[in-house]
Structure 1
Amino acid sequence: MKPGWLSSVAGAIAFASMVVPVQAATVQITMENLVISPAEASVEVGDTVEWINKDVFAHTATAGNGDFDVNLPAKKSGMMVVKKAGTVEYYCRFHPNMKATLKVVP
């Protein structure tokens, strides 16, 4: 073995572990009994938000700023990949008392 070989290999392994891309997460938000839970969720750009409608009637996840409008039929779910950072307040168009906040960090 040549001197320094082991430290070169260790350095290469350490560097490779730093450049491995971070995998996007899927965050689940539930709508049940006319309540959005959690009422405040934090995600990162690139993550997927999955709204799960456990009620027997339809809901929506409608952003107050117009960024998204996801239809959620009864007992179904819908997904969206988050594309930009910011705080978005959203609600159900059919049940405006159902409100929540999505905080998106870069």
Structure 2
Amino acid sequence: MRPGRYLLAMATLLFGMMAVPAHAATIQITTTDLVFAPAEVSARVGDTIEWINKDVFVHTATALNGDFDVAMPTNKTVTSILKKAGTVEYYCRYHPNMKAVLTIAP
């Protein structure tokens, strides 16, 4: 390897080591008046979802494909970390008319 290429390779390696890794985001999904808000959310694997129940009823966020089933007590916040990519439709087991979609990128 020529000296110029060696220096370029070393500089590239050092720059790559200094790059700041992407941090996971925290995304809030709220239940109010028997509705998930927002009804459509985009996230990434590793992101945290804060399920905030501001309703007077207990709710769940239950994935149709079985990926998650989160119980949300009244006036509480529950967190979960996204572990799998894909588009997940979910609903409340107690109020099946409450529906939403979570799109999770790798």
For this structure pair, what is the TM-score category when the shorter chain's length is used for normalisation? 0.7 to 0.9
Corresponding position of 2:81 = 81
Corresponding position of 2:35 = 35
Structure 1 SS opposite 2:74: coil
Corresponding position of 2:55 = 55
Paired AA for residue 96 in structure 2: P
Distance 2:92 2:78 in 1: 13
Note the residue ranges of structure 1 that are not aligned, 5 or more in a row: 1-7
Distance 2:51 2:62 in 1: 11
Corresponding position of 1:25 = 25
Corresponding position of 1:101 = 101
Q: Deviations over 1:54-73 (max 9, x none)?
A: 01110000000011000001
Distance 2:16 2:60 in 1: 44
Runs (4+) off by over 6 Å: none
Task: Report deviation, 1:79.
Answer: 1.1
Identity of aligned residues (%): 60
Note the residue ranges of structure 2 that are not aligned, 5 or more in a row: 1-7
Distance 2:16 2:55 in 1: 48
Paired AA for residue 74 in structure 1: T
Structure 1 SS opposite 2:43: strand
Distance 1:90 1:17 in 2: 39
Over the residues paired in the alignment, what is the CA RMSD in angstroms? 1.7
TM-score (normalised: structure 2): 0.84
Distance 1:63 1:23 in 2: 25
